[in-house]
Chains A and B, each alone.
Chain A
Amino acid sequence: MLETGLIIRALARNKIGALLIALQIALTMTIMVNAIFMIQDRQQQMQRDSGLDEANTFYLTNTIFGQDYNIQAQLQTDLHMIRNTPGVVDAIQINAIPLSSSGWSMALQHEPGEDKDAVGTAVYMVDEHAINSMGLELIAGTNFTQEDIELRKDGQSTWPAKTIITKAFAENLYPDDWQSAIGKTVYISQTQPMQIIGIIKALQAPWNGWNGVERSMLVPFHRESKGSYYFIRTEEGQRDALMPAIEKALAESDKERIIRRVTTVEDTRKRSYRQHNATNKILTTVVITLTLITGFGIVGLAIFSINRRTKQIGTRRALGATKGQIMRYFMMENFIISTIGNVIGCIGAVALNMWLVNTFNLSPISFELVAFGVVALFIVGQLAVLYPARKAALIAPATATRTI
Chain B
Amino acid sequence: MLVMKNINKIFQTADIQTHALRDFCLQVNEGDFVSVTGPSGSGKTTFLNIAGLLETYTNGEFLLDGEDVGKLNDNGRSRMRNQKIGFIFQSFNLIPDLNLYDNVDVPLRYRGFNAKERKRRIEENLERVGLASRMKHLPSQLSGGQQQRVAIARALATDPRFLLADEPTGNLDSEMAKGVMSLLEEINQQGTTIIMVTHDAELAQRAKRTIQVKDGRVSELEIVASNTDKAIA
Q: Interface residues, chain A, CB within 8 Å of chain B?
A: 1, 3, 6, 9-10, 13-14, 311-312, 315-325, 396-398, 400-401, 403
Contact B105 A6, beta carbon cutoff 8 Å:
yes
Contact B110 A9, beta carbon cutoff 8 Å:
no
B81 an interface residue at 8 Å Cβ cutoff?
Answer: yes
Q: A319-B87, A401-B49, A401-B54 are in contact. List 13 more A-B contacts (CB 8 A).
A: A3-B109, A6-B102, A312-B93, A312-B95, A318-B54, A320-B81, A320-B82, A320-B110, A323-B74, A324-B75, A396-B55, A400-B87, A401-B48
B137 an interface residue at 8 Å Cβ cutoff?
Answer: no
Contacts of A318 in B (CB 8 A): 52, 54, 81, 87, 93
Contact B83 A398, beta carbon cutoff 8 Å:
no
Given A9-B98, A319-B106, A401–B45 Cβ distance below 8 Å? Answer: yes
A320 to B105, CA, bound (A): 12
B43 an interface residue at 8 Å Cβ cutoff?
Answer: no
A319 closest partner in B (C-beta): B107
Residues 73-90 (chain B) with a chain A CB within 8 angstroms: 74-75, 78-79, 81-83, 87, 89-90
List 8 A-B pairs, minimum CB-CB distance, nearest first. A320-B82, A10-B97, A319-B107, A320-B110, A398-B54, A315-B93, A397-B54, A322-B78
Contact B81 A397, beta carbon cutoff 8 Å:
yes
Contacts of A1 in B (CB 8 A): 109-110, 112
B158 closest partner in A (C-beta): A320
Contacts of A324 in B (CB 8 A): 75
Contacts of B87 in A (CB 8 A): 315, 318-319, 400
Contact A321 B110, beta carbon cutoff 8 Å:
yes
Residues 50-73 (chain B) with a chain A CB within 8 angstroms: 52-55
Contact B98 A321, beta carbon cutoff 8 Å:
no
17 A–B contacts from the bound complex (CB under 8 Å): A6-B105, A6-B106, A312-B96, A315-B95, A316-B106, A316-B110, A318-B54, A318-B81, A318-B93, A319-B87, A320-B158, A322-B110, A325-B78, A397-B53, A397-B54, A397-B78, A400-B54
Contact B89 A320, beta carbon cutoff 8 Å:
no
Contact B97 A400, beta carbon cutoff 8 Å:
no
A333 to B98, CA, bound (A): 15
A21 to B197, CA, bound (A): 43
B97 closest partner in A (C-beta): A10
B108 closest partner in A (C-beta): A1
Contact of A10 among B45, B78, B95 (CB under 8 A): B95
A121 shortest CB reach to chain B, Å:
68
Q: Is the interface of A mostly helix, strand, loop or mixed?
A: helix
A79 shortest CB reach to chain B, Å:
84
B154 an interface residue at 8 Å Cβ cutoff?
Answer: yes
Contacts of A14 in B (CB 8 A): 97
Contact A317 B78, beta carbon cutoff 8 Å:
yes
Contacts of B96 in A (CB 8 A): 312
B197 closest partner in A (C-beta): A401
Contact A13 B106, beta carbon cutoff 8 Å:
no
Contact A400 B89, beta carbon cutoff 8 Å:
yes
Contact A9 B95, beta carbon cutoff 8 Å:
no
A9 to B101, CA, bound (A): 12
B171 closest partner in A (C-beta): A403
A323 closest partner in B (C-beta): B74
A6 to B89, CA, bound (A): 22
Of the listed residues A3, A311, A317, A401, the one surrounded by the most CB atoms of chain B closer than 10 A to its CB is: A401
A38 shortest CB reach to chain B, Å:
41
A317 closest partner in B (C-beta): B78
Contacts of B107 in A (CB 8 A): 319-320
Contact B111 A320, beta carbon cutoff 8 Å:
yes
A311 closest partner in B (C-beta): B93
A246 to B22, CA, bound (A): 97
A398 to B81, CA, bound (A): 12
Chain B positions 34 through 56: 1 when the CB is less than 8 Å from some CB of chain A, otherwise 0 = 00000000000100110011110
B46 closest partner in A (C-beta): A398
Contacts of A319 in B (CB 8 A): 81-82, 87, 106-107, 110, 154
Contacts of A9 in B (CB 8 A): 97-99, 102
B91 an interface residue at 8 Å Cβ cutoff?
Answer: yes
A312 to B102, CA, bound (A): 14
A3 closest partner in B (C-beta): B109
B32 an interface residue at 8 Å Cβ cutoff?
Answer: no
A360 to B111, CA, bound (A): 58
Contacts of A325 in B (CB 8 A): 78, 110
Contacts of A13 in B (CB 8 A): 97, 138
Contacts of B105 in A (CB 8 A): 6
Given A14-B97, A312-B95, A397-B54, A320–B112 Cβ distance below 8 Å? Answer: no
